[in-house]
Structure 1
Amino acid sequence: MPGKRIKSTGLAKGPGTPGIPKVDPILIVDNVTRNFGGVTAVDVNHLEIPRHAITALIGPNGAGKTTLFNLLCGFDKPNTGSWTYDGHNLAGVPSFKVARMGQVRTFQLTKALSLLSVLENMKLGAKNQRGERFWAALMPWTWGKQETEITAKARDLLKRFKLDAKEQDFAASLSGGQRKLLDMARALMNDPTLVMLDEPMAGVNPALTQSLLDHVLDLKDRGMTVLFVEHDMHMVRHIADWVVVMAEGKIVAEGPPETVMEDQAVIDAYLGAHQDVDLGVVTGRIPTIDTKESK
């Protein structure tokens, strides 16, 4: 677990309650819903994500966290609602344009292109590549300098993420944890402002957990905003400045980690009503609820 960091203060304009306005929000969500048949997966009235902070999005399995991620990044379309990123309305904007604007994400299941090398995967993450255009591709002297710069940037990031020794290996040869590192490093090729991580620790062996945690903290140190989905409460307690809790598609609690963990609505969401249990006790992990079995 990383050493204790000084967390951001004064992020919200009042005590932590669902939908509380933030002092300097980078992402604002209003009345966003997503239905699948008769099931409402997301029903968020209002949510603001504070700039230059690490926000954890937590909740039991089936709470709608990944669906909300998909909506905000343009991978899915809502039934109702709108949201803005850095003042720009993103409703209806496709995912590739969202990424170009500086809002990038990683996935719980890694998306590396297995039969390309690690370095080639990295280079795919760079934006505005002149050589990608058909006619320009036939004239390498028009984009050769940019290609050299992109390669140098990719190698610098691989070195930072301790993947430089793997740059010529196929991405398929990487371990699960190394693929998580590759996903995060490739996202930074886009020079993002907001980085959204969907369960960055899922399936990662303990040997690489510390490295991933340090890199998440480093994103904030470098001026980026981080929003991540996670179940490990020890991780949330140590690195999150703000915590948002979802249950049954709704935001049920918000606040600093030390406050949210004691919120009765959070305890009810995870363990059912009237349970006097510390969510971080013994294992440090939140019990997950299989919504199919609980209904």
Structure 2
Amino acid sequence: MSSEITPKAKPVKSTGLHVGDPAPGVKKVDPILIADGVKRTFGGLTAVDVEHVEIPRNAITALIGPNGAGKTTFFNLLTGFDKPDTGDWSFEGRSLAHIPAYRVARMGLIRTFQLTKSLGLLSVMENMKLGAKDQTGENIFRGLIPSLWRKQDREIEDKAQDLLKRFKLDAKKDDYAASLSGGQRKLLEMARALMSDPTLVMLDEPMAGVNPALTQSLLDHILDLKAQGMTVLFVEHDMHMVRHIADWVIVMAEGRVVAEGDPHEVMQDQAVIDAYLGAHHDTDLGSTDTGHVEAIKELIDDEQ
């Protein structure tokens, strides 16, 4: 596991995020998202069983755990891409239960995917413009009258151009999205998410499949989201990256939240160690989670 990835400037850690001792389900001072009793089963398998969790506002929260812990399924439930068996969850005080994904996005909760969802046969600029909300031209009748939407379309394109420049994709704006590298598609998806001016950005494994040349860029952009006043919740396996940029860490194992806390302290939590090591009691040491276990051990040694 590489430890060379570092932010361009080490972020100032948020303080006072929680009330009382850090533990699974601990109350936050100013939560932006709250989930209660969210459970999702597939046949006889319980993929998610979260009793209570709160995401702190204006902070970067990492959701970690071994493979199969239920992290992505939990993301899908919170953002309307899947439906739970039971439970309720709210964003900015408004319940999201039974609200479809497109309406969740309009409310200011935007997510990206582990496997990018760019439209390959559209240009990079066209992908960006799709991310803007409340477009007049989307109405079938108003779309027939160019004078009603041209001014807004120019404003949307200007905003997209500024974001592409910020993400160093402006030279690719006329290229098909399919021609981008895996890392560039991750950047495009993050940039497109910002077209809707979100309040909470949820990133599902933003570093997965990204070559080292673009990893630092993605890392810096995640830090910039917080600097611009957004809340970030992300799934990640790179424990060194988590320790560098996360203000708060939530650990899942077997669908449940088993630990929460400051990233420097949660890595030493016995529940976290058990969650990772437990996945290997009966598995081959060459399995994909082995690197995560070694990273946990290394981080514990670093802290000591």
TM-score under structure 1 length normalisation: 0.93
Cα 1:87–1:97 change in 2 (3 A) is same
1:137 Cα deviation after fit: 1.2
1:195 aligns with 2:188: no
Q: Distance in 2 between matches of 1:278 and 1:262?
A: 13
1:97 aligns with 2:103: yes
Q: Distance in 1 between matches of 2:153 and 2:91?
A: 30
Cα RMSD (Å) of the superposition?
Answer: 1.6
Paired position in structure 2 for 1:249: 255
Q: Distance in 2 between matches of 1:278 and 1:176?
A: 26
Q: Distance in 1 between matches of 2:34 and 2:257?
A: 14
What percent of counterpart residues are identical?
A: 73
Q: Distance in 2 between matches of 1:181 and 1:146?
A: 24
Runs of 4+ in 1 over 6 A off after TM superposition: none
> Letter of the aligned partner of 2:217 in structure 1?
S
1:78 aligns with 2:84: yes
Q: Distance in 2 between matches of 1:16 and 1:213?
A: 26
Paired position in structure 2 for 1:13: 19
Secondary structure of the structure 1 residue equivalent to 2:174: coil
Structure 1 segment 1-295 matched on structure 2, within 5 A: 1-2=6-7, 3-272=9-278, 279-281=295-297
> Letter of the aligned partner of 2:256 in structure 1?
K
> Letter of the aligned partner of 1:217 in structure 2?
L
Secondary structure of the structure 1 residue equivalent to 2:114: coil
2:267, 2:299 within 8 Å by CA — same for their partners in 1?
Answer: no
Q: Higher mean Cα deviation, 242-251 or 266-275? A: 266-275
Deviations 1:178-230 (A, max 9, x none): 00000000000010000000000000000000000000000000000000000
Q: Distance in 2 between matches of 1:166 and 1:229?
A: 28
2:25, 2:53 within 8 Å by CA — same for their partners in 1?
Answer: yes
Deviations 1:44-76 (A, max 9, x none): 000000000000000001000000000000000
> Letter of the aligned partner of 1:51 in structure 2?
R
Deviations 1:57-101 (A, max 9, x none): 000010000000000000000000000000100000000000000
Q: Distance in 2 between matches of 1:109 and 1:158?
A: 20
1:282 Cα deviation after fit: 5.4
Tell me the matched-pair count. 283
> Letter of the aligned partner of 1:69 in structure 2?
F
1:245, 1:251 within 8 Å by CA — same for their partners in 2?
Answer: yes
Q: Distance in 2 between matches of 1:280 and 1:252?
A: 15
> Letter of the aligned partner of 2:102 in structure 1?
F
Secondary structure of the structure 1 residue equivalent to 2:185: helix
Deviations 1:4-45 (A, max 9, x none): 221100100012100000000000000000000000000000
Q: Distance in 2 between matches of 1:53 and 1:5?
A: 11
* Unpaired segments ≥5 residues, structure 1: 285-295
